Amino acid sequence: MTCVRLSHDAAAIALGATTVARALAQQPDIAVKPVGSRGLFWLEPLLEIETANGWQAFGPVAASDIPAILEAAAADKPHPLALGKIEDHPFLKKQTRLTFARCGSIDPASVEDYANTGGFTALKRAIELGSNAVIEAVTQSGLRGRGGAGFPAGIKWKSAAGIGSAAQKYVVCNADEGDSGTYADRMLMEGDPFLLIEGMIIAAIAIGATCGYIYIRSEYPHAIGAMNKAVAAARHHGILGNAILGTNHAFDLEVRVGAGAYICGEETALLDSIEGKRGQVRAKPPLPVHKGLFGKPTIVNNVLTFAAVPTILTHGADFYRDFGMGRSRGTMPIQLAGDIKYGGLFETPFGPTLDELVNGIGGGTASGRPVRAVQVGGPLGAYFPPALFDTPFDYEAFTERGGLIGHGGIVVFNDSVNLAEQARFAMEFCAIESCGKCTPCRIGSVRGVEVIDRIRTEPDKGRQLALLRDLCDIMRAGSLCALGGFVPYPVLSALDHFPEDFA
């Protein structure tokens, strides 16, 4: 019996993995192992075959290629789609995979596969250490929230743990991944869901929580299915429930499907949505760590933050802190998208420049046209021209240049893009997605669209340009949350770096 690995990741399915799976099912003596994606999307569907020389990869594979590929692999003959050992591929070899180390090699639904590759080692360690030592390790590691704000995770956890009088506390995972060009959360949930579960259980032990929720955007049906299956399996094996791994620690999880609104990616709107209310931003204070879900102390972190915790507990805070630069420690799964030759997930320590990522790793544009701009940080991220491609991928470095890292998505635009249209889109997007609670966001975004339209049509642009900048200042200073507060990033960067597009 020959064992083969085939990705069941949503991206691989979109590129034809289902038809490849059907073709493999028709072959004799073939056992297909469903796995997550390695993140090399230009090579999907990616097939790996176990041979006498180890696992050999082929891609991108079509159903019609299967007989010839199986024959070549069995006879150790060359094949046009042969890639050798996928770990030796330059795109993977240049990475430092800590969070995504298992993705693409294990069956995401198998508790045994996860445990046999070091899974739950960190959970057992956390049970031995206790709350204070776990929080200290997370704090000393330098782990910051990977959802965009970059707030130190250890400080948030310590605040929630310090509220000892609360009868109920919650751990909530924000998996409402809505930024353009981002897919790391989805990849991890579909490819290594038990890593997220383990990280959340460790957080629960740290703050004294007994209940948790994973809030997943409704547009991720494969991730929702994978997480529900993993939660049920963890509960069946005693990893979740009233006696975690046979101890006196109790914690259980529930998957909640998102309400289909971008604003529900904001932590307080997300909490309202879980409570069954309309997703609307809450005023702060009180912070969620003091009064969060159902009015109880709650920590909210995103998928990548929780998924980094098992590495810290397994290898130690110093190990994790040794990666990165400045105050940006550890690794960041960077997602390359847009007009780029080698689009995919690239996990690396903080520090490489935009030029290294876009041109060195990503290979420049897929169209062959010149790169004109990249947007980092989703639809509310700044547009950086090639003149700023020496910027290192680091929270503070991006802030100094009027940008933000956000969730780590890099969207590449070629020279056909019109940045005035993109600035208008940012305002329009905010107007559509605003929860409507605060005036600067609700009204300011509508007025922003009107002002940009006047700039592009009226001959006397000076007053309108000044008005647009004033409007951005008001939205940044007066908005209740980051939706209205971050719209000035794409608008002002377009104005500053691409003024000719507003002529």
Q: Return the percentage of the chain with pLDDT > 90, whole number.
A: 93
Q: What is the pLDDT of residue 458?
A: 83
**φ, ψ for residue 446 (rounded to 5)?**
-65, -45
Say whether pLDDT at 129 is over 80.
Answer: yes
Say whether pLDDT at 164 is over 80.
Answer: no
Say whether pLDDT at 147 is over 90.
Answer: no
**φ, ψ for residue 120 (rounded to 5)?**
70, 0
Say whether pLDDT at 422 is over 90.
Answer: yes
Average of per-residue pLDDT across 414-437: 95
pLDDT tens-digit readout, 65-122? 999 999 999 999 999 999 999 999 999 999 999 999 999 999 999 999 999 999 999 9
* DSSP sequence for 113-172: HHHHTTTTHHHHHHHHH-HHHHHHHHHHHT-B-TTTT--BHHHHHHHHHT-TT-S--EEE
Average of per-residue pLDDT across 391-396: 94
Helix axes 66-75, 17-25, angle to 10 degrees: 60
Whether residue 277 contacts residue 494, with contact meaning beta carbons closer than 8 Å, is answered with: no
Paired sense of beta strands 47-51 and 170-175, if any: unpaired
Confidence of residue 291 (pLDDT cuts 50, 70, 90): very high
CA 250 to chain centroid: 28
337: helix, strand or coil:
strand
Average of per-residue pLDDT across 231-235: 98
pLDDT tens-digit readout, 166-220? 789 999 999 999 898 999 999 999 999 999 999 999 999 999 999 999 999 999 9
